[in-house]
Amino acid sequence: MTRRTKWLITAALFALTATALFAGLIGYTSTARFCASCHIMETRYVSWQYSDHAAYTNCLSCHSEPGLTGEIKAHLAGARYVYAFLSGRQSGPILLAEVPNENCFKCHDAEALGEEKEDSGQAHASYHRLHQEKQIACVACHGGLAHATMLPVKARSAMTLCQSCHQPHDSAVRSCNRCHPYGPGGPALRQP
């Protein structure tokens, strides 16, 4: 075997080893367990485990922009978090994680959300349609679903949630019987 052949074999083995290590690193850093390895993420990890989303998603599937570029950006942001955590150079809030609507629509059919269903009624379907048309973030209303609380905290009422964007005098929240046609003790939404 010539010296050149030995060098090529060594270089090929090195390249294969480096590629396998890189792929393993990317695979591991894409898991929720890796995200939870930072102390500040432990509560987010546990609250996610108790949510319905834990069976269907991981951190990157919700918190990265769609596509390969989005996943690369998420890995780079994660590397920045690890650096800030290890170096103690945290200059601002580290738990800034957005969820683009496109990520919600990977599992939830955007068209079907605006359709009237037996369990939600016409009012709920029309609210979804209006909010989608205005391109309002899904997490504006549904932000607490994937990271449920770990404490016995009373959830905000729907009216309080609506009033976080709409003023009490807005037509969207002015009339109680618009959403509660059967009175305060009745169903919250109109049924078909």
> DSSP readout, 127-151?
HHHHHHHTT--HHHHHTTSSS--SS
How far is the C-alpha of 161 from the C-alpha of 154, rounded, in Å?
A: 13
How far is the C-alpha of 95 from the C-alpha of 93, rounded, in Å?
A: 6
How far is the C-alpha of 134 from the C-alpha of 120, rounded, in Å?
A: 21
List pLDDT tens digits, range 131-160. 888 888 888 888 777 876 665 444 455 666
Whether 16 has a pLDDT exceeding 50, the answer reads yes
Domain range summary for the chain, segments of one domain joined by +: 3-99, 154-192
Class of the CATH-defined domain 3-99: mainly alpha
Look at the chain and count its residues. 192
Q: Which pTM was predicted? A: 0.65
Q: Supply the DSSP symbol for 115.
A: S
